[in-house]
Amino acid sequence: MTLVNETTHIQVPKNPKKRGGRSVLSRGVEALLTNRVVLLAVLIVVVLVVMTILDSAGQLSGAYNADYLASSLISAVPLAMLGMAQLLVILSGKGGIDLSVGSIVSLTGILFGFAYGPGGWDFVPALILAVVAGGVFGAVNGVLIAYIGFPPLIATLATYYAYRSLALVISNQKPVSSESIQNFYSAAQSVEIPVIGATIPLIPLGIFTFLIPTIIVVWIVLNKTTFGRRLYAIGTNDVAAQWSGINVRPNRMAVYAISGVISGLVSVVTVAQFASARPDAGTSGNGMALPAITIAVLGGVAITGGIGRVSGIVLATLLIVWLNAGILLALPGNDGSQFQLLALGLVLVFASLLNGLTKRKYGGI
């Protein structure tokens, strides 16, 4: 005869920290990987802490303090703005990318320089000229890609060479300068914020006059307009978007035109920073396009399209700028510049691997 123990058994989990078969650590890792904004914020804190420790240990050639970090934000203005441009074109899907943004910056900068300098135009008309010209150059990319069917990589690589050549030919390979352009350097200087400015470091003026307005406009376009919703839709599946009534071609062309408009604004920023209109402003060295693409990928933009946020671009820019600023202090001279490129490459590989891992494991970024 078998005796049955009728006592009710209450199973106690071996690990009280586990819920639903997954540990708190596993849930934390998932939250960190699937929320790019949180991950970037953590990485920024890590960079700041490591560099501060190196500074305290006397391993840096200069002080890695709030004043230095604030002054380094001057390089964040063009990078973040072009990162926004890449966000828009990559979101549109079909291999969206814009390699020509640096050349558009150079060419529209030369046009702005001739108009505002030797041409004697007022600032506003010269600014409008740069923006409109940038939009036209970007629209050429859009027509080639959306209507003729060129792959974005090939189309924007071709216009990269074409616009770069035009900038050099028009300027006779010399910077355009005048007294008015040299005085325009004041637009790139750091200023004290009213009311609270005495308690915080000086901030580059371009943050307020160009970067923040661009961030706000792009955020509104993506999150509060029908065009933004269409952009996410065609980036995710343009066939499904077409069947749902969205006219894909003009929307896809429009994002390249907007990318050109942003590049035109960046050209004005670079003229102020250099106090001259340089024909190689956006293409010298490694150019502006590759860092902008790196920032977009690091910021969580899916290279396949349809996924990406403005906040990711902003935080990715801060991470890159403050990491580069620390490398320059740790490795003064030319070595620092070379290691910045190494760091940029490693960051791009890390971001790409992370995007792929996150998509496979959790189905998103």
Per-position DSSP letters for 301-313, written without gaps between them: --TTSS---HHHH
pLDDT at site 15: 52
pLDDT at site 5: 47
Q: Which of 23-37, 60-74, 162-176, 317-331 has the lowest mean pLDDT?
A: 23-37
> Rounded mean pLDDT of the chain?
88
Q: Which of 187-196, 206-215, 236-245 has the lowest mean pLDDT?
A: 187-196
pLDDT at site 114: 95
In terms of DSSP H, where are the helices of 200-284? 205-206, 212-224, 226-236, 238-243, 248-274
Q: Whose CA is closest to 214, among 266, 281, 165?
A: 266
Using one digit for the tens of pLDDT, what is the confidence trace for 179-205?
999 998 888 888 887 777 677 888 999
Task: State which amino acid sits at residue 115.
Answer: A
Q: How confident is the model at residue 156 (pLDDT cuts 50, 70, 90)?
A: very high
Using one digit for the tens of pLDDT, what is the confidence trace for 78-108?
999 999 999 999 999 989 999 999 999 999 9
Q: Identify which has the larger pLDDT, 154 or 189.
A: 154
pLDDT at site 2: 43
The rounded distance, in Å, linking the Cα atoms of 166 and 262 is: 19
Residue-wise burial string across 80-100, b where 16 or more C-beta atoms lie within 10 A, e elsewhere = bbbbbbbbbbbbbbbebbbbb
The encoded tokens of residue 135 equal 């939009």
Instruction: Calculate mean pLDDT across residues 114-128.
Output: 94
Using one digit for the tens of pLDDT, what is the confidence trace for 279-337?
999 998 778 998 999 899 889 898 888 999 999 999 999 999 999 999 999 987 777 77
Helix crossing, 212-224 with 248-274: angle to 10°? 170
How far is CA 178 from its chain centroid? 31
- Any residues with CB less than 8 A from the CB of 166 and at least 6 apart, and which? 107
Residue 336 lies in a domain: yes
Q: How confident is the model at residue 364 (pLDDT cuts 50, 70, 90)?
A: low
Residue 44 lies in a domain: no
The encoded tokens of residue 219 equal 């955020």
Instruction: Calculate mean pLDDT across residues 233-261.
Output: 94
Residue 26 lies in a domain: no
Residue 10 lies in a domain: no
Strand ranges, E, within the chain: 190-191, 203-204
> In terms of residue numbers, what domain contains 315?
76-189+198-360
How far is CA 55 from its chain centroid? 28
The rounded distance, in Å, linking the Cα atoms of 12 and 32 is: 29
> What is the model's pTM?
0.88
Task: State which amino acid sits at residue 123.
Answer: F
Residue 261 lies in a domain: yes
The rounded distance, in Å, linking the Cα atoms of 144 and 133 is: 17
pLDDT at site 21: 62
Q: In 10 A of CB 353, how many CB atoms?
A: 10
Instruction: Calculate mean pLDDT across residues 325-350.
Output: 84
Residue 120 lies in a domain: yes
DSSP class of 94: S
How far is CA 65 from its chain centroid? 24
Proportion of the chain above pLDDT 70, given as a percent:
91
> Which DSSP helix (H) or strand (E) runs through 19?
none
Q: How confident is the model at residue 3 (pLDDT cuts 50, 70, 90)?
A: very low
CA dihedral sign of residues 119, 125, 128, 133? negative
The domain that contains 120 carries what CATH number? Answer: 1.10.3470
Residue 48 lies in a domain: no
Number of domains in the chain: 1
The yes-or-no verdict on residue 68 having pLDDT over 90 is yes
pLDDT at site 29: 73
pLDDT at site 365: 55
Residue 38 lies in a domain: no
